[in-house]
Amino acid sequence: MFNRFLNRLFSKEIQRRVDHQVHLAVRAIDDTKDRLISRNTYPRDRHDYDRDEVLRDALDAWRSNPLARRIVELTSQYVVGGGLGIEAKHERTHRFLQAWWGHRLNRMSMRAFDLCDELTRTGNIFLIVSTDPGGMSYLRALPSADVIEIETASNDVEQELVVWERSRMDGTEISGPDGIVGHPWTVYNEQTDSLNTDSQPFAPVVLHYAVNRPVGAKWGESDLGPLLKWLARYSAWLEDRARLNRYRQSFLYVVKAAFTSQAERLARQAELNANPPNPGSILVADQSEEWSVLNPDLSSFEAAEDGLALKKMIAVGSGNPLHFLAEPESATRTTAEAAGGPTYRHYEQRQQFFLWMVEDIARVALNRRAQVDRHIAPETQITVKGSDISARDNAALATAATTVVAAFSALRDRSLIDDAELLRIAYRFAGEVTDVEDMLRRGAAAPLPQAPARDGKGGSRSAPGGNLSPSAGTVVKINPIKVNPGTGELTNVE
């Protein structure tokens, strides 16, 4: 009796609370932005289905959307630019790096563009490193969409152990933890990587690099990820505008007449459809027919502002000014140059990461080679060089360096500053980062420049037009030349 009384009194409230909790649970499952901890997902990583959808949409956008393709191309053009170069101070090591760099199975000078495109599209690069018995390593990229899981150390998410590739059709899949079925790739570990057997000296390993990765996450994020819905909206808006402009020019002739029957009307309509009047022609009709034109009244208010607002959202998300995306919002050069500053900073940061990535890959190839070739110095310094982001910055830096060196040289002559401060200021305004103390030691060890020999009158023995040979210390006569500005022809001046 008492239970029935409680149920009758509180049944509605109990049911309301149960419905509320069920609603919250269903919403959490359906919400793609909810980041719940599961057995195969870290809290700061996307769910697997969400990540697969973003990677698939980013690839489709790159294939079909001109703006997405241009954003990816811009990143590669600025980051890789005219190409990359690699060098090492140790001679034998340098020769090996050049051979590895230009090997026909690596072709790193061309592969760098593909890797940069993949890094921009997906935010991740997975590289499989295979090494032959001679110690030459070869790189093959593993598509990010084919990776289903990244195993890490239990106490450190940044220590990756195994990368799981999707199941293949050759039946080589293996069952892993948490029900994972796929092909495992061991992540490279410098401490444990060593020779195995004569037939297979080195086991294939994988390298993983990521950008736009939140702290505590295993996966990077695509540069196109925040732009996908805005790219789709801009494409839909542009398609609607094209369709609207097409149908706006459509029209129909309407002919009114007193027909005696339906057959007569259809016959007249068939006659006009077979021979419609041409534009600009003269049409003569009697009082029995009345001609008029019917066209759609389609208006689009503030369409230009809507399209510009969508494109601004895309430009902000990609970090590019509008004039990089074929939208000259301002016709002044000063505005365009000022808008490029943050963009160049973005590309400089991405280039810095990319150069470090290439250096790390080269270090892996070098470490494996050193295990079979004792002439290789694995600890030698490796330098990867890329092209300058902006040529205009070089001109500005050169002007600034020239001005500041001239000013601070006067302070050094008066012993107001020392050599270290002068060198620091010079490199600072040249836009370069250097070790000042190391540069001073190298400068002290370098030989003094050879000055021209002086005659008894305190002047140089080299005649006008002469030049001092640095090897023999003798004066070599160089005849001045004259350039014809019209033809470019060079002629000697006696």
The mean per-residue pLDDT over the stretch 120-124 comes to: 96
Q: Rounded to 10 degrees, what is the CA torsion of 403, 408, 409, 412?
A: 180
Cα–Cα distance, 44 to 471 (Å, whole number): 64
Rounded Cα distance between 204 and 457, Å, is: 73
The mean pLDDT value for 392-401 works out to 76
Kindly report whether the global pTM for this prediction surpasses the value 0.75. Answer: no
pLDDT band of residue 229 (cuts 50, 70, 90) is very high
Q: Helix or strand or coil: residue 22?
A: helix
**Residue type present at position 361:** I
Q: Band of the pLDDT at 255, cuts 50, 70, 90?
A: confident
Residue for token pair 């509008």: 322
pLDDT value at residue 449? 72
pLDDT at 305 (0 to 100): 79
The residue ranking higher by pLDDT, 254 or 100, is: 100
Determine the 3-state secondary structure of 490 from DSSP. strand
Using pLDDT thresholds of 50, 70 and 90, give the confidence band for residue 329: low
Listed range (116-120, 139-143, 324-328) with the worst mean pLDDT: 324-328
For residues 457-471, one letter each, b for 16 or more C-beta atoms within 10 angstroms of the residue's C-beta and e for the rest, the string is eeeeebeeeeebeee
| Residue 489 pLDDT level (bands cut at 50, 70, 90) | low
The pLDDT assigned to 195 comes to: 76
Instruction: Supply 434's token pair.
Output: 């250097």
Orientation of helix 108-122 relative to helix 48-64, angle to 10°: 120
- Given pLDDT bands bounded at 50, 70 and 90, which one contains residue 486? very low
Expressed in percent and rounded to 5, the helix, strand and coil fractions of the chain are 45, 15, 35
pLDDT at 458 over 70: no
User: What is the rounded average pLDDT of the residues 129-143?
Assistant: 94
Half-sphere exposure of 326 toward its Cβ, with a 13 Å CA cutoff? 6
Return the pLDDT at 468: 42
Residue of higher predicted confidence among 113 and 477: 113
Average pLDDT over residues 47-73: 93
* C-alpha span between 62 and 71 (Å, rounded): 9
Per the model's pLDDT, the better-predicted residue between 201 and 329 turns out to be 201
Plot region of 15 (φ>0 → left; ψ -120 to 50 → alpha; else → beta)? alpha
C-alpha–C-alpha distance, residues 51 and 218, integer Å:
12
Average pLDDT, the chain: 81
Provide the pLDDT for residue 278: 82
CA distances from 49 to 39, 52, 150, 170, 228 (A): 14, 5, 15, 25, 16
Query: Which range, 159-173, 288-302, 343-357, has the best average confidence (pLDDT)?
Result: 343-357
- pLDDT exceeds 90 at position 66: yes
pLDDT: which is higher, 19 or 370: 370
Q: Rounded CA gap, 203 and 182, in Å?
A: 18
Q: Tell me the pLDDT band of 16, cut-offs 50, 70 and 90.
A: confident
CA 85, CA 291: separation in Å to the nearest integer?
75
Here the tokens at position 416 are 């107001």
Q: Is the dihedral of CA 171, 176, 181, 182 positive or negative?
A: negative
Is the per-residue pLDDT at 453 higher than 60? no
Beta strand 124-131 with 205-210 is: antiparallel
262 or 484: which leads in pLDDT: 262
Whether the pLDDT of residue 33 is over 80: the answer is: no
Predicted confidence at residue 327, as pLDDT, reads 77
Q: Yes or no: say if 371 and 72 are a contact pair by the CB < 8 Å rule.
A: no
The whole-angstrom separation of Cα 472 and Cα 311 is 65
Is it the case that residue 342 has pLDDT exceeding 80? yes
Identity (one letter) of the amino acid at 463?
A
DSSP-based three-state secondary structure for 406: helix
Q: Averaged over 452-470, what is the pLDDT? A: 49
Of 292, 294, 287, 293, the closest CA to residue 258 belongs to 287
Rounded CA-CA distance 211/221 in Å is: 7
More confident residue, 440 or 218: 218
Closest by CA to 40, choosing from 173, 219, 225, 186, is: 219
Helix H or strand E segment including 427: helix 419-429
Burial of 312 (0-12, 13-18, 19+ CB in 10 A): middle
Tokens of 214: 């939140």
Q: 58-62, 287-291, 353-357: lowest mean pLDDT where?
A: 287-291
pLDDT band at residue 5, thresholds of 50, 70 and 90?
low
Gap between the Cα atoms of 293 and 309, Å rounded: 37
Distance CA 159, CA 152 (A): 5
Closest CA to 47 of 70, 67, 68, 29: 29
Average pLDDT rounded to a whole number, residues 51-70: 94
**Angstrom distances, CA of residue 314 to CA of 231, 234, 259, 324, 345:** 7, 9, 59, 11, 18
Give the model's pLDDT for residue 107: 94
Between 3 and 356, name the one with better pLDDT.
356
Please, which contacts does 431-437 make with residues 24 or more away whose CB atoms are closer than 8 Å? 431/393, 431/397
* Contact of 336 with 321, CB cutoff 8 Å: yes
CA atoms within 13 Å, Cβ hemisphere of 464: 3
* Residue 9 token pair: 């009194």
% of the chain residues with pLDDT over 90: 36
Length of the chain: 494
Residues 88-92, mean pLDDT to the nearest whole number: 91
DSSP class of residue 203 equals -
Q: What residue type is assigned to position 395 of the chain? A: A
Q: Which residue has the higher pLDDT, 341 or 77?
A: 77
Look at 192 and 435; give whichever has higher pLDDT. Answer: 192
